[in-house]
Amino acid sequence: MPPLTTAPGNLAWSLFYLSRDLTYAGLLVTGLYRLLHPPAVIDSPVLYYMAMCGSSVCQGIVWTGLWVIAHDCGHSGFSRWGWRNDLVGFVVHSGLLTPYFAWKSTHRRHHIYANHIEKDLNYVPALRQSYARQIGAAMEALEEVGQAAPLVLLLRIVLQQTIGWNWYILSNITCPPTAVVKKGMSVWRHSHFDPRGALFHTSEWQAVLLSDLGCLAALGGLYRLGQGVGSAPLLWGYVVPWIWRNHWIVMITYLHHTHPDVPKYSPGSWTFLRGATATIDRDFGLIGRHFFHHIASDHVTHHLVSRIPHYYSPVASRAIVPLLGRHYHGRGEFNYAALQTAFTECQWVEADGRKDAALGLRAAKEPPSGSSKGSEGSKGPRGTLWYRSGRIPSPEYKMRGARC
């Protein structure tokens, strides 16, 4: 591996990118202010709303980049000094209403157990039995189940992309109950804001509480800002860009970990390297490279060596990816079509010996398809698990298996 894979973050470069993104955000705020004061600057309502929407979309893109920089801080990739990493990450994430230390904790465990079917905390799919129960179908008949109508598919994608991040932070919705620290707690105790909740060790309560206070301080500042400038500037200057930022983070992370050719692993077949390489890079052109700081295009490298700062990741990827051989799953698209594919072809997982062979893995001996002793039998899932297509289940409000 190149030396960059072990190099700490360069503080000067990190501050440059942070300052650059803050400058972009400031310029957009200045432009929005000039559009809103006085309102007569734009006489046409159509042009007015086009300008407001355009400004909000651009600000959402910039804020996604700022969020990624704070994410680097959580991985100790901003500088060689831990307190500077946490200071910058805490301030930036709190300003974007992300509980920094709480999310840092669960995200760290996601990296440790990436694509482990029982211990990963993000985007863990259902097994055959759970999926059949979700859609009300017989386990033996899942291959005959059709897919959702186009309108239903569109509505479900919009639902995930608009409120998915918020509901994940509040309920850890995509996590299996076997992955939480404190098992058996009610669904309402799976929040990133609960210092004594199911997601955290007892020793972490102070850090989680500090995260809560940071978000509360940001909300207090927004309330005072709204009192001073009015609801319209607050809506277009913060709320709508914040929704767009949530959309981009969900889309980035979902598409990284959800693809028909990317496996999940049972406890017996999982290793750190298998889990780390079971993700896929996504190309989003200039926006991905310049504004999103390569988080979409170099995600495999990020999972292998998470401390690499974003500005080193392209060079590191050019050195690492050729070494992975067929365990590198390629580069995918970053668009609505990719979301459609993930939603329709990646609903549940089970073993597939043919795909195991293509990846050079030893196929596990699984019970017959549809057997009641299948993937979720008393001994749990076995082998490498691959996505299957199917109908989209009804929206869930809690983790699978979590009690109310």
CA atoms within 13 A on the CB side of 267: 9
* Helix intervals (H) in 113-204: 128-135, 150-171
> What pLDDT sits at residue 259?
94
**Dist CA 324 CA 140 (whole Å):** 37
**Poorest-confidence range of 190-194, 290-294, 319-323, 372-376?**
372-376
- Please tell me the pTM assigned to this model: 0.91
**Bridge partner list, 331:** 281
Distance CA 309, CA 79 (A): 9
Under a CB-based contact definition with an 8 Å cutoff, are residues 124 and 175 in contact? yes
Q: What is the pLDDT of residue 326?
A: 87
Residue 391 has pLDDT above 60, yes or no: yes
CA distances, 265 to each of 198, 277, 350 (Å): 24, 12, 10
Find the largest Cα–Cα distance for the chain. Answer: 71
- Mean per-residue pLDDT, 114-135: 91
On whether the CB atoms of residues 402 and 186 are closer than 8 A, the answer is yes
DSSP per-residue string spanning 317-338: HHHHHHHHGGGS--EEE-SHHH
Evaluate whether 348 touches 123 at the Cβ level (below 8 Å).
no
Share above pLDDT 90 across residues of the chain, in percent, rounded to a whole number: 68
User: In what helix (H) or strand (E) does residue 126 lie, and over which residues does it extend?
Assistant: strand 126-127
Q: Is the dihedral of CA 382, 384, 389, 394 positive or negative?
A: positive
Q: What single-letter DSSP state applies at residue 383? A: S
Query: Residue 393 has what pLDDT?
Result: 84
Domain ranges of the chain: 3-388
Q: Which pLDDT value is given to residue 38?
A: 62
Does residue 25 register a pLDDT over 50?
yes
Per the CB < 8 A criterion, the answer to whether 51 and 17 are in contact is: no
Confidence of residue 394 (pLDDT cuts 50, 70, 90): confident
pLDDT bracket for residue 380 (50, 70, 90): low
Instruction: State the average pLDDT over residues 244-259.
Output: 96
Confidence of residue 71 (pLDDT cuts 50, 70, 90): very high
